[in-house]
Structure 1
């Protein structure tokens, strides 16, 4: 795996650390900030952390003991990819996906442990409640009050291109070591995002190789580095990543396990903003400029400003989608969109 230019990370500001003594302190810290922070040792008492500190093989045995005997989706990297799950020169992803039992996947790690050129196998965003029995209970969520989606990520020395996620995220380093490079939400232009409909994992990613940034091709990346923050996590450490913060993720050990928790600050029945962006590209982006200006004003009126005067002249029981959405009215709006999009 290619070594990164250490000076890039050395010049970055470290993500702040917060003393988080218990669950209540964590909830308070999360509710009080829209900035990332590290909680050192937050999940140090997890059995999976203890197993990993003994050996990578012990960690695998702990995970395998609680896995359902079903096929798992695994990403298999191309030779020479340097651990980077990205695009090839043809702009197709440089890995393929396959199905395999977890025991067979872990046998691969047993056979290649300690080898620098080990073939890349990566398990990404595996739902812990669906694919395991008891793994969640054995390693309890620090943010259970948020009813989060709980996922496990397993791999070797991997590099995941900078991307963002809509939900808030608590990323817990269970085994190995992780490095996160983070950027505020407004840095999307300086990160040179790739396609939004052809992505390695569903989100647009930065086209910049953080291990060898080409400042001639991506000059504004230098501006992004001015506001970058870096977090290096040891087993038991956790990182809070607020919604829409960009993060580049690296596995720094031969075997790494991350457990993360995603949750929304808004009601779960609301739609996904990314889908609205796709629809706006379909319906608005290629209109004449004067038409787009009208629609921009309407979006401001109904969506971004949403002043009470938008609907105050309409009887309260007749405001429909202009009233605050409920699960029922959100469902009606979703059904309407499905009908119109299927025409």
Structure 2
């Protein structure tokens, strides 16, 4: 007899998710073309299989460590995040959300790697996680030895090293290509519009800089988080082997799991916009400060203003104004963007003392 399915609140978020679309055998030109145009997630099977690190990791974690140490100049410690075995790899808040269930310390990379090897066969090791460490600063020469031509402008490449881990669903403003170099990873994705169903925590007090979903994806508590059931109907999932990569478009929510006792991920972020553009998160925070608590009628009126000047803006928005007099309504460039910042700085310094 087939056992009954567990209740929905006990089923992991990935259990019923649909697979992320997959592509196989992309060459460099196809990869660059795709990264310039994709707006939905893609799994790229074997795209980094040629990396020496991937090949070393497939032989053994010890070989992968030797490869990494070949680029370690040893002059700067890395930030190592550690948590007790009871955390089971879930790096998260503490029980009352007054702090976190982990601590950070500065350690030489070789010490972190040796510790990971020490716990390889421990059934209940402490969680060890080196997150988002800039490759060119800490491992010079690594990118040249493990090359992947993305065809994008000024990517920031980072490495993530650890044992089994569960990183809560979060989103990033840049596009992201994450390549699995050692161990296996499971990635669960949600479209940006699911923000209201993911029960996102504080924007300004976060484990690692980005707001995270408070739902435990291994055992979602649908009594506490009922709308997460709707989010799960939009979930996409993939399990990645060494050499595989996943393209995560801007603002897609992603929950990342390291499934093995030794995992390495190398990711690149980039924004296909000019460098002088500000982070939209800054605008969101100012929106909370200036708009969220207005009376409902005023919020509706300001919504119309934002639609006109921002979200629905086009060539006719300022067409009735002489070209030389359009100010911030003209197309921005680096110089005019700095003038906007100057205006904002003066307004923020003035605070509530003057008219809006």
TM over 0.5: yes
Could you say what the CA RMSD is over the residues aligned between the two structures, in angstroms?
1.7
Instruction: Report the TM-score, using the length of structure 2 for normalisation.
Output: 0.91
Q: Please point out which of 21, 33, 53 is paired with 1:48.
A: 53
Flag structure 2 segments of 5+ consecutive residues without an equivalent: 1-8, 351-356
Per mean C-alpha deviation after superposition, the further-off stretch among 127-136 and 292-301 is 292-301
Establish whether residue 83 from structure 1 lines up as the match of residue 112 from structure 2. Answer: no
2:19 corresponds to which residue? 14
- Residue 79 of structure 1 deviates from its aligned partner by 4.0
Q: Aligned partners of 1:99, 1:338: CA distance in 2, in Å? A: 35
**Per-residue displacement from partner, 1:196-250 (whole Å, max 9, x unpaired)?**
1111111111111011111111111111111111111000001111111111000
Q: Aligned partners of 1:204, 1:176: CA distance in 2, in Å? A: 26
Q: Check whether the contact 2:199–2:213 (CA below 8 A) recurs between aligned residues.
A: yes
- Residue 5 of structure 1 deviates from its aligned partner by 6.1
For 1:106-125, what aligned pairs fall within 5 Å after superposition? 106-125=113-132
Q: How many pairs align?
A: 340
2:34 corresponds to which residue? 29
Q: Aligned partners of 2:152, 2:25: CA distance in 1, in Å? A: 16
Instruction: Report the TM-score, using the length of structure 1 for normalisation.
Output: 0.95
2:245 corresponds to which residue? 238
Flag structure 1 segments of 5+ consecutive residues without an equivalent: none
Q: Please point out which of 342, 346, 355 is paired with 1:339.
A: 346
1:145 corresponds to which residue? 152
For 1:114-193, what aligned pairs fall within 5 Å after superposition? 114-193=121-200
Q: Aligned partners of 1:77, 1:267: CA distance in 2, in Å? A: 39
Provide the secondary structure at the position in 1 that maps to 2:22: coil
Q: Please point out which of 205, 209, 232 is paired with 1:202.
A: 209
- Residue 61 of structure 1 deviates from its aligned partner by 1.6
Q: Aligned partners of 2:222, 2:343: CA distance in 1, in Å? A: 47
Misfit runs of 4+, over 3 Å: 4-8
